[in-house]
């Protein structure tokens, strides 16, 4: 398309220059060659603008200086428009200087003509302004296109992040619920006759875990269908007590401790209060709370299904700057990734921690017995009242 437009402009320039030169009867022999030289080269202005402008300008200046009939210099006007529309600042300045020099020489030699000079000056200024306007529109269009590409990229990245988040949530919901249900279902038949009460508890835990999983899955699927109208109601630290209680129902000695300031015993020693849930839970920002809950959930799921542990300790320790979540069991401490294909469980927990700007460490417990998962999640600084 651009080639045809360029050809059409060249044809118009040649017609507007050559036809008036040959009209009106015989003229000097140099009129037609100079008319051709001042118009035809504009066909190649896209390839070599400066040489074309020099040839066209010299031919036009020589023709005017030799006394050719005054004509509108279409070729130089087209070249000046091209300088303004497509060239860099340095080339544009060069084009303006060349055009001004040729205009002054052609109109002041051999005799000055102020009226023609004024008329052609207006034409050249209009041509340059038209080219500048075209360049501005093209720059604006490029900026808008770049903005659209950037917005599209940001939207695609946001969709990918949301899909990854939902995939992690579905993984955590399913693996935890299925893990607890499998353990309870396997223990139930063994307890039916000798311990019917414990069997009833096991089956009740299966039902409660299944119902909770169904509710969370329904919310997750709803957020996939209509994210704006069905946001996923994410759990936080306030739900950890119920999570630990479900794990205790499987037979594990599970304890949740919040190290937000230990209490002092009667003999003056610092001790956490007794019970399966110790300390006071302080809910952090939503993203940090969700990450902490899911990390604990995934760690407890791995303990229930694969650690062969008898007890597990969940410790929450928070300061003004960070929240530390630690899950330690007394099972075999040489496992590397838990229930999933190699590394997926820990990779998912690490991604959750990194999404909040935190870190995750895993490895054998400090006493050499068991396994520990520790996540450190930064907390935003509180706003300062003014």
Question: What pLDDT, in 10s, does the model give residues 234-275?
Answer: 778 888 888 888 888 777 888 999 885 433 333 333 344 334
User: How confident is the model at residue 282, as a pLDDT?
Assistant: 63
User: How confident is the model at residue 309, as a pLDDT?
Assistant: 81
Mean pLDDT, residues 193-215: 69
User: How confident is the model at residue 281, as a pLDDT?
Assistant: 59
Which is more confidently placed, 102 or 326? Answer: 326
* Residue position matching structure tokens 């399913």: 174
User: How confident is the model at residue 266, as a pLDDT?
Assistant: 34
In angstroms, rounded to a whole number, what is the distance separating the alpha carbons of residues 62 and 229?
A: 75
In angstroms, rounded to a whole number, what is the distance separating the alpha carbons of residues 68 and 73?
A: 12
Strand pairing of 253-259 and 322-329?
unpaired
Q: How far apart are the first and last CA of the chain?
A: 62
Structural domains of the chain in order of their starting residue, each with its CATH number:
2-112 (no CATH), 237-261+274-386 (3.30.565.10)
- Split at pLDDT 50, 70, 90, the class of 324 is very high
pTM of the predicted protein model = 0.48
pLDDT of 230 > 90? The answer is: no
3-state secondary structure of 158: helix
User: How confident is the model at residue 191, as a pLDDT?
Assistant: 59
Q: What is the pLDDT of residues 164-202, one digit of tens each?
A: 766 777 777 776 676 666 666 666 666 566 666 666 676
3-state secondary structure of 320: coil
User: How confident is the model at residue 315, as a pLDDT?
Assistant: 92
Residue 87's alpha-carbon distances to 5, 7, 193, in angstroms, are 18, 20, 92
Q: What is the pLDDT of residues 67-82, one digit of tens each?
A: 666 677 888 888 888 8
Which is more confidently placed, 261 or 50? Answer: 50
CA nearest 377: which of 356, 363, 348?
A: 356
Residue 352's alpha-carbon distances to 163, 218, 287, 297, in angstroms, are 13, 22, 9, 12
Mean pLDDT, residues 314-323: 88
User: How confident is the model at residue 228, as a pLDDT?
Assistant: 47
In angstroms, rounded to a whole number, what is the distance separating the alpha carbons of residues 342 and 303?
A: 16
C-alpha torsion sign, points 177, 179, 182, 187? negative
Contact 79, 42 (CB under 8 A): yes
User: How confident is the model at residue 110, as a pLDDT?
Assistant: 61
pLDDT of 31 > 50? The answer is: yes
3-state secondary structure of 361: strand
Burial class (CB in 10 A: 0-12, 13-18, 19+), 264: exposed
Please give the mean pLDDT across all residues of the chain: 75
Pure H helices in the chain = 2-22, 31-37, 49-65, 74-86, 89-108, 114-191, 196-225, 240-248, 286-302, 344-355
pLDDT of 86 > 50? The answer is: yes
- Split at pLDDT 50, 70, 90, the class of 221 is low
What tokens appear for 183 in the block?
A: 């353990």
- Split at pLDDT 50, 70, 90, the class of 375 is very high
User: How confident is the model at residue 268, as a pLDDT?
Assistant: 38
Which is more confidently placed, 126 or 71? Answer: 126
């Amino acid at each position: 398309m651009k080639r045809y437009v360029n050809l059409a402009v060249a044809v118009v320039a040649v017609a507007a220059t050559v036809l008036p030169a040959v009209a009106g009867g015989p003229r000097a022999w140099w009129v037609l060659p100079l008319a051709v030289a001042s118009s035809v080269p504009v066909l190649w202005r896209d390839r070599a603008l400066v040489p074309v402008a020099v040839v066209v300008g010299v031919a036009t200046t020589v023709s005017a200086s030799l006394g050719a009939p005054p004509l509108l210099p279409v070729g130089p006007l087209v070249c000046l428009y091209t300088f303004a529309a497509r060239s860099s600042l340095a080339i544009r300045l060069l084009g303006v200087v060349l055009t001004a020099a040729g205009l002054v020489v052609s109109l002041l030699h051999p005799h000055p003509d102020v009226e023609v000079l004024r008329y052609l000056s207006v034409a050249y200024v209009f041509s340059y302004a038209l080219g500048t306007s075209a360049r501005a529109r093209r720059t604006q269009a490029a900026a808008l296109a770049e903005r659209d590409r950037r917005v599209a990229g940001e939207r695609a990245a946001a969709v990918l992040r949301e899909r990854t988040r939902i995939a992690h949530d579905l993984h955590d919901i399913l693996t935890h619920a299925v893990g607890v249900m499998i353990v309870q279902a396997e223990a139930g038949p063994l307890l039916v006759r000798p311990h019917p009460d414990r069997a009833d508890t096991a089956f009740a835990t299966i039902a409660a875990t299944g119902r909770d999983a169904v509710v969370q899955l329904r919310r997750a699927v709803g957020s996939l269908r209509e994210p704006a109208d069905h946001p996923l109601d994410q759990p936080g630290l306030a739900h950890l007590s119920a999570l630990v209680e479900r794990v205790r129902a499987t037979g594990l000695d599970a304890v949740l401790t919040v190290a937000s300031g230990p209490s002092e015993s009667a003999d003056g020693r610092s001790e956490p209060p007794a019970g399966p849930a110790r300390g006071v839970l302080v809910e952090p920002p939503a993203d940090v709370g969700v990450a902490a809950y899911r990390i604990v959930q995934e760690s407890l799921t791995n303990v229930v299904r694969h650690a062969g542990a008898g007890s597990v300790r969940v410790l929450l320790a928070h300061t003004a700057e960070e929240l530390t979540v630690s899950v330690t069991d007394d099972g075999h401490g040489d496992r590397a990734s838990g229930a999933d294909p190699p590394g997926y469980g820990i990779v998912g927990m690490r991604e959750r921690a990194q999404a909040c700007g935190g870190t995750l460490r895993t490895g054998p417990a400090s006493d050499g017995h068991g396994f520990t998962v520790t996540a450190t999640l930064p907390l935003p600084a509180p706003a300062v009242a003014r």
